[in-house]
């Protein structure tokens, strides 16, 4: 599902780069991550660094609101160079638009990021479109997670209990 969300975000706004990261917890090293790149960035198609919570995207997660920066604003931003250990291998960025993904109660669970718009800088319309996609993606991700939990519970309770299972649980 993350791959589809990421590809659709890139297509919707018309950007060369898109990344979606989801972490249902504080440990970003265990985040799920998807990347979509146009042919312009074909040399980076094997780029698969895991987010570690140190990049500029962490601001979107902390503030839980969209951020849109021109290239000049991006280069001037103090968090811009914070790609963590992957800084040397990261694809170059040109402008940046990122929106939060949220879970129950509005808690941040991730981010959709775009860079290098096909023509010009990211606009207010681009931001509004990506915010709406982020809302829809959040609902889909949360529903998928909820359904998976329910399936695990259902399969655990439908399994026959053997006497040895009961004894092992009792510590005998």
Total count of domains within the chain: 1
pLDDT of residue 169: 59
- Single pTM value for the model: 0.82
Distance between CA atoms of 24 and 27, rounded to whole angstroms?
A: 8
Domain extent, residue 118, equals: 2-170
- Residue 171 CB partners (closer than 8 Å, separation 6+): none
Bridge partner list, 117: 15
Distance between CA atoms of 162 and 169, rounded to whole angstroms?
A: 11
Percentage of the chain lying above the pLDDT 90 cut: 51
Burial of 109 (0-12, 13-18, 19+ CB in 10 A): buried
3-state secondary structure of 58: helix
Please report, for the domain that includes residue 67, its CATH number.
3.30.450.40
Q: pLDDT tens-digit profile of 107-148?
A: 999 999 999 999 999 999 999 999 999 999 999 988 887 777
């Amino acid at each position: 599902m993350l791959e589809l969300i990421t590809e659709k975000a890139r297509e919707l706004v018309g950007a060369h780069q898109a990344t979606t990261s989801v972490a249902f917890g504080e440990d970003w090293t265990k985040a799920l991550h998807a990347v979509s790149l146009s042919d312009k960035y074909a040399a980076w198609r094997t780029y698969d660094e895991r987010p570690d919570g140190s990049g500029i995207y962490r601001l979107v997660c902390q503030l839980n609101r969209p951020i849109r920066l021109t290239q000049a604003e991006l280069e001037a931003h103090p968090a811009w160079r914070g790609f963590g250990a992957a800084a040397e291998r990261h694809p170059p960025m040109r402008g940046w638009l990122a929106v939060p993904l949220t879970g129950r109660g509005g808690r941040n669970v991730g981010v959709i990021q775009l860079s290098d718009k096909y023509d010009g800088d990211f606009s207010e319309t681009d931001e509004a479109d990506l915010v709406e996609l982020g809302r829809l993606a959040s609902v889909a991700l949360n529903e998928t997670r909820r359904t998976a939990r329910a399936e695990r519970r259902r399969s655990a309770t439908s399994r026959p209990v053997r006497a040895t299972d009961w004894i092992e649980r009792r510590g005998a």
